[in-house]
Structures are given as structure tokens and as C-alpha cells.
A and B are shown apart, each in its own frame.
Chain A
Amino acid sequence: MSSPAIEFREVTKVYRKILRGLEVPALTHASFQVMPGEVCAFLGPNGAGKTTSINLLMGFFYADYGEIRVMGYEPGDVRAKRQIGFLPENFAFYKYLTAERLLRFHNALAGRRAQDAATVIPDLLTKVRLTGYERLRIGKYSRGMVQRLGVAQALLAEPELLVLDEPTSGLDPTGRKDVRDLLSALRTEGKTVFLSSHLLSEVEQICDRVIIISRGRVVKSGRMQDLLVAADRVEILVTGVTPELELKIQEQGGIIARGEAGVVITVGIAHKRETAESLWAAGMDVIHVMPVRNSLEELYMKTVGTEGGVA
């Protein structure tokens, strides 16, 4: 089995305001893993510790306790950074540069040849729909254009791991779809993506793995398909239902919905066998019995609720 692309082991980070004598815990014994090739969503309310975790992972901050490994190296190690493409939250650029010059600058920082830039940069600008604006100063860009440029610079050095902090922030629906398509393409290419976002419906479509963090603690972590399965309810699809059975199911707290494919009966796990057998006995065809799948939003709200973070 290959080693994780990202690994946090019992990581703790406390912000200290020495003059005010304040200590604000941002992360408390956070542990999680992201395997190579996974697209992982990193979710949590504002101030939960997402950006702190990303800053630790990138080597911008130092952890007070615990161990972090990125692509097998310590955070900040240039051998790890060679394999990472990073988009920070509220991406900031040198406003006096043009998109083309900024990408050339990053190309040089990535240690790549100037000749590579000549072919890669126009392709990237086309990919993020900035063709035609490459000679415009970034100071004149809209928020969405800056964000798209940020995505382009993150993809510049063909990274194996992409760390994206709110990649769709400031983007219009078309821009969001572009980023979503881009992430899907990256997944197909086998790249690892670590993504922080508040757009749960989009995350649900793209990601294989979810990590939910709240108040600096990892409160839920696992494969998306496993986490979204509700363990307490099942969905039974049948060709029809008798009025007596309908009444009985409703008395047991079941929900009945009629659709084109048949009747969908949602019952608690305790009544699964009994309901299915009653339906068979009444001469109905049971087409399938499946666990109910929650939406990511439901899972998130159930896990985090309305609480906010601390840092």
C-alpha cells in the first residue's frame, strides 16, 4: 500500500497573543490521512481550523505538537513543494504584473525552464478562460479573474498534489463549473486534491473523501460513499402498496412517496425486514432495498450543526 499524500498525526496548534496573554487553540490533536489519487474535501465552519491546517501543511506555520507529512516529507521541504500546487484563500498577487509575467515568475520559482513557460502558460490561460487578458495588469482584474489566475498558477508545475483553499470563492456559476470540471479531470489523471470549500453540493459531486473539522478537532473523516449512507433508514422500492399496509407503515413512522418507477417506502432499519416481508406477502414486487443516502449537507449539519469555530 502506498504511503499517504497527506498525513496529520495528533497535530496541535495554539495561537498565542503574548502581549494580551491569550492562547487560542486552533487545532487540537487533529489526525487524518489523504491517500494518493484521492480528491478530499476539507470541511468545517468558519474558524474551525481549516486554513490553519492548510498553512501547517504548506509549512507556513509550525505545529506545536504532532507530526505532519506531505508527499512523504516534512511541511516546507522543497522536495515536497516541488510536487505541490497551491491556491491560498483570498489569493493575492503582485498587482503590477500581468498574468503572463506572473506565471513566468512562478515558472522560474518552480525551477522550470523559460522555454517550458512559452508553451504551458498559453494553455493554462486558455484552460482558465483568461486568454485575451494576459497582458492586462492583475490590478485591473475582477475578483473572479484573480481567482482563475490563482487556479492557473496552482496547476503551473504539473503538481501531483493540489492544495486548494476555497477554489471557487468569488467565481460566477460558469467559473465554478469550470473549476469542478477541472477537478474531475485531475481526478481522472490520478492527481491528489485537498480541497477546502463551503459549497457542499459541489464537493459532494467531486470528492471521494471527506474530513469535517470543528473547533479545531476532526469530527468526521472517511470515504464519501460510506459517510453519506444513513445507518438508521432504508428505502424500499415496490410496484405498489395496499391501503392497509400504507396505514401500518405510516403508523411505524415510515414515509411513502409515489413516483414513475414505483412506490418508495422509507422505513427505520428496525422495520426493514417486517415491511419487506409484508409487501411480498401482499403480492407486491420489491424492486430493491437500499440504505438511504444522505446529502453531504445533511451529514455536515448533523455533524457540525450551527456551531462556529474559535480561531
Chain B
Amino acid sequence: MRIGSLVLNTLESFLHNRLVALVLILAACVVLLMLVPLMGAKSATTAANQQGMEAAVLEMVSGVMSFVSALGSILAAWGAADALHSELKSGTVLAVMARPVKRWEFLLGKYLGVMAFMFCYVLVMMGMSYGLVAIAGMKIHAAPWILLVYPMVRYAIYAALGLVFGTLVHPVITMGMILALSLLTDFVGPGSFAWKPKLMWLKTGLYYLLPSTNLLTEGRFLSLRQAALKQATWLEHSITLGYGLDCAVILFVLAMWRFHYRSLRQD
């Protein structure tokens, strides 16, 4: 009951957060702007240029979805860091923690509140995916659960990262650190630029240590055409999602540990 109340309260605070509202409105405007060339390409499609135009439309849909998906990652990280920081800064945490609430319960409530918000976001994102693809006159062949579960696990990692850094520093610095971490993850991932041979141990070490969300991109399975559908077994899904959840849990436990020992005052 306590955690449930904290979850609902966090979700409600998101809905009253002007910054989040502003970002979402701006994102909606960007998506609408991106729809213009999509509609143009669709209307310009003829029998002669069908193949080329389809490829262009696919590219545009993919661009829109990547943007929305990336924005979700930022929202998840920012939301988690800000949910904690605003409580500490305003002092509302004191009245809450004076109740018989354990510190881990408070943090879990915040985390699940952020995830509840991200669930709503993912539902909108899913609707948008289907809508855009329908506008393009195509069909998504991937199972709907993939479009739901994969981004949720990815956002779970980002939200947990936001909490870890949020227990240490200001949300703006948190975002900087997460951005730096994401870039570093890209630099050490497979297919990144060539590292000097004597530094390969570092690259390999960082690759295993840093939380990677590349595997958790639903785009791996998001296929618009049957011919391009990439089949994956349940085992592959389980391993990939298990990896993501494992990362999220480890990061959340780190955040819990840090939050347990810190003072409830924003320094």
C-alpha cells in the first residue's frame, strides 16, 4: 500500500511537471513536422518509383521512431533523477520519510512511478508506430509485445541509471554523465572504431562492465516488410531481456545502497 501510494504520487508529479509537458509538446511538434515529408513521399509514389519511394518512406518512419525512442530514454533518466532531486530539494521527502516508510520503499516507489509514466509513453509510442506504418501503407510484422517489452526494459535501465547518478549529483549533471556513458558504451561496442591493440583489454572490460541498451532496441525486430522480418527464438528474447533486467536491477540496488547511506538533504 505504501509503495503503491508513492508510485501514484510520483506518476502524478510527472503529470504536473511543466518541463516534462514542454518536452512532450515539443516532441509532438517535431513528429508532426516529420510527418510532412512522409505524407509527401506517400502521395508522390507511382508505379514507376514504388520501390524507391517505399525505401524512403521506411527510412522516414524509422527516423521518427528512433527519435521518439531516444526521447523516451532521456525522459526515463531525467524523470528518475528529477523525481528524487525535487523531493530532496523541496524538502517534501522529510514529511514522507517521517512516516513508517523504509528508504528502499521510497526509492522503489519513485522508480516504479517513473516506470508507470514510461509505460504510458511506450503505449503512445506503440500507437504511433502502428499509425505511421499504416500511413505509409505498410504493416508491422513484429509481435506487439516486442514493441512494449523491449523499450520498457531499455527505459528501466535508463531510469535506474538516473537514480544511481541522481543520488549523487544534480539531474543536469546526471544527464551529462549518462550521455557520456552512452557515448562510451558506443565506443566499446562491437563495430565501433578500431582501438589500439594494447588497449583492447580496456575496451573488452568496459564492454562487459557498462550497461548496453543496443541489444534492447526493438528496431532489431521491428520489421515493416515480411521479407525483412528477423526471426528470434524465445531463448534469444529471454537472454536479451534478462540481460537488460539484470542491468536495471544491479543499477537499482546500487542506487538503493547509495540512498540508504546519504542524508536526506540536498547539498
Contact = CB atoms under 8 A, between A and B. Distances in A.
Interface of A: 55, 58-62, 76, 78-79, 81-82, 84-86, 88, 90-94, 96-97, 105-106, 108-111, 150, 153, 157, 163
Contacts of A76: 103
Interface of B: 1-2, 4-6, 9, 12-13, 16, 90-92, 94-103, 261, 263-265
B102 A78 contact: yes
Given A91-B95, A93-B95, A109-B99, A61 B1 contact: no
B263 A110 contact: no
Given A78-B101, A108-B5, A109-B5, 6 more contacts: A58-B94, A62-B261, A78-B100, A93-B92, A111-B100, A157-B99
A88 B263 contact: no
A94 B12 CA distance: 10
Contact of B94 (A60, A94, A111): A60
A94 B13 contact: yes
Contacts of A81: 98-101
Nearest to B12: A96
B95 A61 contact: no
A157 B2 CA distance: 14
Contact of B98 (A61, A62, A86): A86
A106 B95 CA distance: 9
B95 A96 contact: no
B92 to A, nearest CB: 5
Given A60-B263, A111-B2, A88 B95 contact: yes
Which of B1, B16, B91, B100 has the most CB atoms of chain A within a 10 A radius of its CB?
B100
B9 A105 contact: yes
B13 A62 contact: no
Contacts of B263: 55, 60-62
A63 B131 CA distance: 57
